[in-house]
Amino acid sequence: MTPVRPAAMVDLDEVALLLDIDGTLLDFAPTPSEAWVPPALRRTLAGLLARTGGALALVSGRPLAGLDLLFAPLELPAIGGHGAELRPAAGASADPDRTPGLDPRLKRTLATIAEIGPGILLEDKGYSLAVHYRLAPDKGETVREMVAAVCASFPELPLEILPGMAVVEVKPSAFDKATAVAELMRIAPFAGRRPVFVGDDVTDERVFPILPPMRGIGFSVSRRIDGVDGCFDAPADVRAWLDGLLARQPVG
């Protein structure tokens, strides 16, 4: 795949930049806590936030508190928890009652999956629970089957199972990244702008179909997804593209 560098398609005075994190801005790490943000990326994001008048947001499955810790001291507008949390401006507070958290009974039952052996890591995001098996790839099929069985044992809960890169995540089905992006694009300073979304994972796929009615542009990373306008080879290419966007834009 050849990275797409659509400089002519992106005017920072007219667009809203919506950026997934893991596998898009950042390279995958052995565990979520080991993800590393290059200092140059923080500077680029800060510059793009200013140049877009605040219309740049992270769109992630990580909770907002985790995003702030990862990118500290930089704080950005963000969608967290796969759409469970929304912060339209840096420094603003997310609505604490926006959506209910994942049922504690379900979390405790899912946690028993870690008993199948070492290398299975649990990540409690509040609104969801992720079961990582990147350190135990041979257990992937077993993990997926066990997660499905546990969720089936709670028929009263509206749940969604999200497969990802060596991870299976469970969340309520009432929200996702697409619903949150649609909501964000109705709020200033995002309202009236042309969304440019970059994502890589299964959880990002629902966002791409909602972009055309907003004259939006979608780019995938590492794999070509139906309906996208282009594809980047790797997160390093996305970071280079963002650097180029900032460098090519007039200042003042």
CA 216/CA 3 separation, integer angstroms: 19
Q: What is the pLDDT of residues 176-208, one digit of tens each?
A: 999 999 999 999 999 999 999 999 988 899 999
The owner of tokens 């791409």 is: 208
Max Cα-Cα span within the chain: 59
- Phi, psi (rounded to 5 degrees) for 184: -60, -40
Q: For the sheet containing 194-199, what is the strand order?
A: 85-87, 78-80, 56-59, 15-19, 194-199, 217-221, 230-232
Give residue 4's pLDDT. 55
First-to-last CA distance in the chain? 36
Asked if residues 24 and 63 have their Cβ atoms less than 8 Å apart, the reply is no
Question: Residue 252 pLDDT > 70, yes or no?
Answer: no
CB-side neighbour CA atoms (13 Å) of 198: 32
Residue ranges of domains in the chain, CATH in brackets? 7-97+175-248 (3.40.50.1000), 104-172 (3.30.70.1020)
Residue 229 is among the residues annotated as catalytic for this protein: no
Q: Of the candidates 57, 55, 7, 1, which has an alpha carbon nearest to the alpha carbon of residue 220?
A: 1
Give residue 121's pLDDT. 94
Measured over the CA atoms of residue 123, residue 240, residue 204 and residue 63, the dihedral's sign is positive
Give residue 249's pLDDT. 56
Give residue 93's pLDDT. 76
Asked if residues 177 and 59 have their Cβ atoms less than 8 Å apart, the reply is yes
CA 243/CA 44 separation, integer angstroms: 6
Q: What is the pLDDT of residues 64-106, one digit of tens each?
A: 999 999 999 999 999 999 999 999 998 887 766 677 778 999 9
- Residue 26 gets which letter from DSSP? B
The residue-averaged pLDDT of 125-149 equals: 94
> For residue 191, what are its two tokens?
């309202």
Q: What is the pLDDT of residues 6-42, one digit of tens each?
A: 444 688 999 999 999 999 999 988 888 889 999 999 9
Query: How does the average pLDDT of the chain come out, rounded?
Result: 90
CA 87/CA 57 separation, integer angstroms: 9
Local structure of 84: helix, strand or coil:
coil
Query: Which one of 11, 13, 20, 237 is the catalytic residue?
Result: 20
